[in-house]
Amino acid sequence: MAWRVRAMQADDLDAVTFNEQAAYPFPWSRGIFEDCLQFGYPSWVAESENGDIAGHAVMTLAVGEGHILNVCAHPHFQGMGLGRCLLNTLVDHAEGEAAQRMFLEVRASNHAAIQLYRSAGFEEVGVRRGYYPDDDGREDAVVLCRELKTPVAY
């Protein structure tokens, strides 16, 4: 499937929040996404061929590093390359902003996401104990990092 990726806008937040709630047991709130837009965090949505917002992604950039905060594909669109498309968008943007590396946290139980990130060159660099809320208390996060292409200095 072909995805159209574009910058997230305030008008997208109903669909973004809907997708987030459909995909995750502990979703981000609409307010978190509003804050991300207000603070200028690079944020995207991916539209399906019929124009539905199928997924979204949010990151930060600072001091040569990108930090992936959220990558979400509505369950209906999972397994169709949407997560990879959004991840590639984040990496391309970070490289375009001369970031040297990217980090992210992912639930230790999210094996599909971990496999996606590893296939994209991310490597485990640590674990954050009890990072995520879980039905049974807290769940660990696996911390992943990818070195990016270093721009040529002239």
105 is catalytic: yes
Strand order in the sheet with 101-107: 4-7, 43-47, 53-62, 65-73, 101-107, 137-147, 123-134
Rg (CA), the chain: 15
Query: Which listed residue (20, 117, 132, 139) is catalytic?
Result: 117
Question: Taking the alpha carbons of 56, 94, 67, 113 in that order, is the dihedral positive or negative?
Answer: positive
CB 122 within 8 A of CB 145: yes
110 is in an annotated binding site: yes
Q: 20, 105, 132, 139: which one is catalytic? A: 105
Tell me how far apart the alpha carbons of residues 100 and 109 are, in angstroms, rounded to a whole number: 28
Active site residue 117: yes
Annotated binding-site positions for acetyl-CoA: 110
Supply the residues annotated as catalytic: 105, 117
